[in-house]
Amino acid sequence: MNATSFDPAPDPASDQDPDQALAPGRVVLLTTSHRVAPGLMSWPAWQVLHAADRVLCADGAHPQLPYLREAGLRVDEASPTAQELVAACTGGRTVVVVATGEGEPALTDGLARLAGSGRVSMPELELLPASYDLPGARLLDLVQVMDRIRAECPWSSQQTHKGLAKYGIEEAYELVEAIEDGDREELREELGDVLLQVVFHSRIAEEDPDAPFSIDDVAGGIVAKLIHRHPHVFGDETASTPEEVKEHWLRTKAIEKQRESVTDGIPLGQPGLALAAKLASRVRTAGLEVPLPTGQGVGYELLALAARAEAEGVDPEAALRVAARAYRDAVRAAEGLEG
């Protein structure tokens, strides 16, 4: 049997009673996910496969075929038309079609046309997912796509961590803007752009001759960190308020980092208001009494405002952005433009 030759009824049931011989039967379209290891299918799928009168698959290289045949199933490599498939079900037969990666659109469209014509006694049609994607499964697709782009794209293949650094900053700001705008579609897209930066840098890191690491190392590291810093979730400690959670986080982080100063680890390259607020937060959390430096000029005034905002639970950077956007809208209104 091959994809160009299909016998709708290789085993005619001549001994069937007339009513059974006219029964329309059943077609089961079995779909599987390429993101799940071949052979790992649901129990209902295996039941249907073993009970079927025929199992068909148009793709002779389908990753499930070796496992189906190892389980003792006969799978015919065939690509029937919709009419041939309906004929193969005559006599109450059940035919399972193991779908290819495209999902057999030509076959399903043909079956829909036959059903809509009203001239054919149609078999029962069933779609049976044999395996499902787990949450996050599409991340595997992103890793595969990035691998290919890195290998084949003239621009992407030449990029370095330093060369991509500016894009990480740009994408982060665009994400913040999408959040501030409240645009859900834009938020989804910008999150994808930020995620791309992570995957791209991880792919580049695999090629480092001295200290390579992969996206799995990145994910494994953050998983371990999250588990370690949430002992109230994964351990024996308890936390019933956000403040207690933050206390757990800071305590475990301090043990991990073993820093000499509360200022260690604060990136000095971040925007000035955010930097001032972060420093004030570290000082306050550590219980230190460090007076703000005094001096002339707007810088010291902004430092005092940022420290005050942080103490009151206000993000000064975000607050200034809100005010700046309001100012932008006022300017546009004065120009006769929409906000």
Per-residue confidence (pLDDT) for residue 244, from 0 to 100 = 85
pLDDT at 235 over 90: no
SS percent in the chain: helix, strand, coil, step 5: 55, 5, 40
Measured over the CA atoms of residue 77, residue 83, residue 87 and residue 92, the dihedral's sign is positive
Average pLDDT over residues 63-75: 95
Question: What is the separation, in whole angstroms, between the first and last Cα of the chain?
Answer: 67
Order across the sheet with 76-77: list the strands: 76-77, 54-57, 94-98, 26-31, 124-129
pLDDT value, residue 11: 55
135 dihedral zone (left: phi>0; alpha: psi -120 to 50; beta): beta
25-40 pLDDT, tens digit per residue, is 999 999 999 888 899 9
Phi and psi dihedrals of 109, rounded to 5? -65, -40
Averaged pLDDT, 192-207: 97
- pLDDT above 70: percentage of residues in the chain: 94
What would the pLDDT profile of 55-66 be if each residue is shown by its tens digit?
Answer: 999 999 999 999
Residue 17 CB neighbour total at 10 angstroms: 9
- Per-residue pLDDT, averaged over 179-193, amounts to 95
| 279-294 exposure pattern, b = at least 16 Cβ within 10 A, e = fewer | bbebbeeeeeeeeeee
Residue where the block lists tokens 């639970």: 313
Beta bridge partners of 95: 27, 54
What's the Cα-to-Cα distance from 69 to each of 33, 58, 243, rounded to whole Å?
19, 15, 58
pLDDT at 4 over 80: no
At residue 2 the predicted structure's pLDDT band, cuts being 50, 70 and 90, is very low
Fold of 18-129: Cobalt-precorrin-4 Transmethylase; domain 1 (3.40.1010)
pLDDT at 313 over 70: yes
Cβ–Cβ < 8 Å for 196, 143: no
With beta carbons less than 8 A apart as the criterion, state whether 42 and 120 touch: no
Range of lowest pLDDT (152-156, 203-207, 239-243): 239-243
Q: 255 or 193: whose pLDDT is higher?
A: 193
Mean pLDDT, residues 114-119 taken together: 88
Q: Give me the DSSP letters along 288-311.
A: ---PPPP-SSHHHHHHHHHHHHHH
Residue 293 confidence (pLDDT)? 92
Please classify residue 131 by burial: count the beta carbons closer than 10 Å to its beta carbon, then call 0-12 exposed, 13-18 middle and 19+ buried. Answer: buried
pLDDT of residue 3: 54
In whole numbers, what is the pLDDT of the chain averaged over residues?
89
pLDDT of residue 22: 60
CB crowding 231-242: b at 16 or more within 10 Å, else e: beeeeeeebeee
pLDDT at residue 19 above 70? no
In this structure, are residues 28 and 94 in contact, taking their beta carbons and an 8 Å threshold?
A: yes
Kindly give the pairing relationship between strand 54-57 and strand 26-31.
Answer: unpaired
Q: Is the pLDDT of residue 149 over 90?
A: yes
Structure tokens at 177: 């803007």
CATH architecture classification, 135-213: Orthogonal Bundle (1.10)
Residue 99 contacts residue 32 (beta carbons within 8 Å):
yes
In whole angstroms, what is the distance from residue 123 CA to residue 91 CA?
10
pLDDT grade for 1, boundaries at 50, 70 and 90: very low
Phi-psi region of 112 (alpha: psi -120 to 50; beta: other; left: phi over 0): alpha
Name which of 218, 224, 174, 220 is nearest 198 in CA terms.
218
| Residue 54 CB partners (closer than 8 Å, separation 6+) | 10, 76, 88, 93, 94, 95, 96
Is residue 189's pLDDT more than 90? Answer: yes
Query: Which of the residue ranges 90-94, 101-105, 326-330 would you say has the lowest mean pLDDT?
Result: 101-105
Domains 18-129 and 135-213 share a fold: no
CB neighbours of residue 45 within 10 Å:
20
User: What does the CA dihedral 149, 155, 158, 159 come to, rounded to 10 degrees?
Assistant: -80
Sorting pLDDT into bands at 50, 70 and 90, what band is 21?
A: low
Domain boundaries in the chain? 18-129, 135-213
Q: Per-residue b/e over 55-84, b at no fewer than 16 CB within 10 Å?
A: bbbbbeebebbeebeeeebebbebbbebeb
